Structure 1
């Protein structure tokens, strides 16, 4: 049976869960109230940091789910995303509109990656 490792664990969630060679990150949000572009940059920086902590990186991302509070922000988010994704390493991806945990959050990223 494969071990399950949890990092940055609180009462409600862990920021990182590893099972076998798969890494699951908790949903990442930016600084509440910032622009969609700035929140996206902040999310992607957090993803980079969390993946590096466990010996992975953005080229190993398998799947990303992105939630936007308003799909009108799709192009603004994608402008940042497109500059961040490593060429030739785009993950499977979905993006949709959802009511986020707080009204001043505009984007949230959920990532699954390989070790």
Structure 2
């Protein structure tokens, strides 16, 4: 049983692959000036790129946990999410309001996918 870790730092790995499953660390947007919709789009773009790097794709996502800083942004985030998953099988999903590591982070995504 092998475990492959990609993009590791002293704290975490961007990607962990094990037994045909891909685990991504929490993805956040890169610009604090973006609103929830743009931060969500940027997070989803990062997820797609990491899944591709891991030999997977968004249509193989098994589950996603979405953390949003303020539940008032739930509807705006869902507009972007719904468009992104419109043409793929829908993964299991949870969305929770959470305190973020920095106040400018409005959304963070954690993803598990098949390889």
| Equivalent in the alignment of 2:80 | 80
| Equivalent in the alignment of 1:56 | 56
- Counterparts of 2:34 and 2:108, CA distance in 1: 13
- Check whether the contact 2:58–2:88 (CA below 8 A) recurs between aligned residues: no
Unaligned runs of 5+ in 1: none
Which consecutive segments of 4 or more residues in structure 1 shift more than 6 A?
none
Counterpart secondary structure, 2:4: strand
- How big is the shift at 1:88? 4.7
| Equivalent in the alignment of 1:22 | 21
Q: TM-score, normalised by structure 2?
A: 0.96
Unaligned runs of 5+ in 2: none
- Counterparts of 1:23 and 1:104, CA distance in 2: 28
- How big is the shift at 1:86? 4.5
Counterpart secondary structure, 2:73: helix
- How big is the shift at 1:7? 0.4
- Check whether the contact 1:15–1:25 (CA below 8 A) recurs between aligned residues: yes
TM-align CA RMSD: 0.9
- Counterparts of 2:33 and 2:13, CA distance in 1: 24
Whether 2:68 is the aligned partner of 1:68: answer yes
How many matched pairs?
Answer: 114
